Amino acid sequence: MKKRAIPALLLSSMLVLGGCQIATKKDVVAETSKEPAIQKPVDIELLTQSSNETDANVIRDQLSKSGFNVKLNLQPDFGSYTAQQKAGNYDIAISSWTTVTGNPDYAVRSLFKTGGDYNKGPISDPEIDKLIDAAASQTSEQYKATYAKLEQRLVFDKAYIAPLYVSLKSQGLNKNVLKESSVRLSKSRSMVWEAIDFADESKRDKEPLILQQSIASLTSLDPIKGNDGSINMLNTNMYVRLVNLTDDDKITADGALSQNFAIADGNSEYYFLLRDDINFAKIQAKAAVDSKERVGAEDVVFSLNRAKNKAAVPDHRTYSLHEHIKNVEVVTDLNTLSSAKLSGSSGTVKEALEKGLKAPISQLTGNKSEANNQSGKYQVVKLTTTEPFPQVLNYLAHQSAGIVSKNQVESINTYDVVKYDVNKDISYGDQATITEGAKYNNALTASGPYILSYKNDYEAVFYKNPGYRKGTEFEPKIAKIVVRFIKDADSALSALRSGEIHVYYGVSENKFDLVKNDSKLKLQTLESNGVAYLSFNLSNREVSKSEDLRKAVLYAINQDELIKTYNNNKFKAVSTLSPLVKTGLEFKADPNKVKDFLKKYNEGK
């Protein structure tokens, strides 16, 4: 059927009658001006290192879809990453924090309090400072509400950080080579080397235990000068502490310098009764030898006083962990212990310190060489805090509270701290002094179960301390430990599967099945205190000036997508407190909020 044409006259009438429907040029311009202008993508620079490339790619995609033009600043290793961070070459950086002390104060104090030694932003917020200090003095029943207020301001009100996820702690081990039960995985504490044993015990003195870590450049072997992934595991096993953490984060004297400890009434005085069976190790001709110098009370006093003193060493990185220490002293008057009442009890400090001892306390001495526990002659150290602060015990379990030799450190650190010159002054624990080459001159003295002999770009070699708890269950089982530096995660997993290493500490969640399906391997996992988050550059960048811009980034982060990338083996986070305190707060991505905050940011420019 042919279509009939519309008569010209009718068409003309239709056009006249419907003329108001025809848009003129003027009308089009007017109408277009009413529509929201297409916003130019906002530039944002994301800093990360190659080990976090998976996270970086997901975050870049999320931000790109939300109206950002993302520049990826991908660094090959931790050293390069920290150099870029220090130079301020970023807007946001993928960061992570593991609360290795098991207490919530540590999860926030170094990171977010003004002047904190790991406050990289830096964040300077009097309200946050006030909340951190308030929570530190409260019981676990009280501090939940305080930490909720802190988390609200940190994340939602001010957007100082953007949470990513809570990780599982994991390690894979070769169960054909090692006794599976001897390889511990602790929630907060680093790997316990002295407990590890070969399945074939005859190999203890013949073959090395081979471990792995990704970072080859060691911050410092002085325990107070570093608090990062390069040295935490190493220094934890090089220096004994007054107390330790159990695998589930309880305070214990097991494997520590103290035989017993007690808290006096008022929660400001802490007493530690020392054992007499630990000597410092030193290195001679690259071998570990017993120095014959006992680890004693004078070393404890020296170590903790320098730990709390920001000016004790150049580049002190852990002083804020110990700022609640007011005084540390050796107790020589037995009446002090008898008269001091125990916190929460009618008993005395002396009774608490004597619990389980083979010989009761009959005499105290200030001379470490005179202590003889079998005859009842002991050393006791008293630590006083600036205010009631039971969380101090958790900090004393941290590697930065490791006990160093007063004699040795003072003989090395002879420079003026104020005038310290990194190019000419030698500092105790400097990695250059234990690196093979022209500058090698190992002057370490280790109070822990192992001592570092030497390192190179490939590995670090440790030997058993021959003066550590000899003849007890805590004497190290294996004579030599090698820590291989394997930067790439896939290469580390391949090394475990091929037998080149015996334990891989930190298997990625998306690689769990490869370990589970290998008959010679065992995968150990537990929910960790490790949280990944984005930290903002709060110095001289647009994100430092605009709270709206930070909030736009915050609400662009979709944790569900990140977690799915790891086969749902990670968990949602709000802040670094998430694994420790259930504040009741929850973070969710919100595209509408992203648009609103970007609009406000652009309008305010």
Please state which CATH number belongs to domain 178-418+427-501: 3.40.190.10
Domain 42-167+529-604: top CATH class: alpha beta
Domains 42-167+529-604 and 178-418+427-501 share a fold: yes
320: left (phi over 0), alpha (psi -120 to 50) or beta: alpha
Q: Quick one: tokens of 425?
A: 């002054």
| Closest to 106 measured CA to CA, from 80, 132, 137 | 132
b/e per residue, 262-295, with b = 16+ CB within 10 A?
bbbeebbbbbbbbbbbbbbbbbeeeebeebebbb
CA 382 vs CA 262, 272, 344: distances in Å: 10, 6, 18
Residue 483: φ, ψ to 5°: -105, 110
Segments in the chain below pLDDT 50: 1-38
Rounded to whole angstroms, the Cα distance separating 236 from 194 reads 11
Rounded to whole angstroms, the Cα distance separating 317 from 314 reads 9
Q: What is the pLDDT of residue 171?
A: 96
Per the listing, tokens 């976090």 go with 52
Q: What is the pLDDT of residue 28?
A: 39
Q: Give the residue extent of every domain in the chain.
A: 42-167+529-604, 178-418+427-501
Q: Chain centroid to CA 594: how far?
A: 30
Q: Quick one: tokens of 240?
A: 């004994």
Give yes or no for a contact between 562 and 570, defined as CB atoms under 8 angstroms apart.
Answer: yes
Q: What is the pLDDT of residue 14?
A: 35
b/e per residue, 405-441, with b = 16+ CB within 10 A?
bbebbeebbeeebeeeeeeeeebbbbbebbbeeeeee
Rounded to whole angstroms, the Cα distance separating 474 from 256 reads 10
Mean pLDDT of the chain: 92
| Closest to 455 measured CA to CA, from 479, 417, 475, 482 | 482
CA 84 vs CA 90, 189, 288: distances in Å: 8, 29, 38
Q: What is the pLDDT of residue 9?
A: 35
Residue 392: φ, ψ to 5°: -60, -30
Rounded to whole angstroms, the Cα distance separating 96 from 167 reads 10
Q: What is the pLDDT of residue 124?
A: 96
Residue 74: φ, ψ to 5°: -100, 115
Q: What is the pLDDT of residue 140?
A: 80
Q: What angle do CA 170, 172, 178 make, to 5 degrees?
A: 130
Q: What is the pLDDT of residue 77?
A: 86
What pTM was estimated for this model as a whole?
0.81
* High-pLDDT (> 90) share of the chain, %: 84
DSSP-derived letter for residue 340 is S
> Do strands 450-455 and 459-464 pair parallel, antiparallel, or not at all (unpaired)?
antiparallel
pLDDT in tens, 307-316: 999 999 998 9
Q: What angle do CA 132, 135, 304 make, to 5 degrees?
A: 75
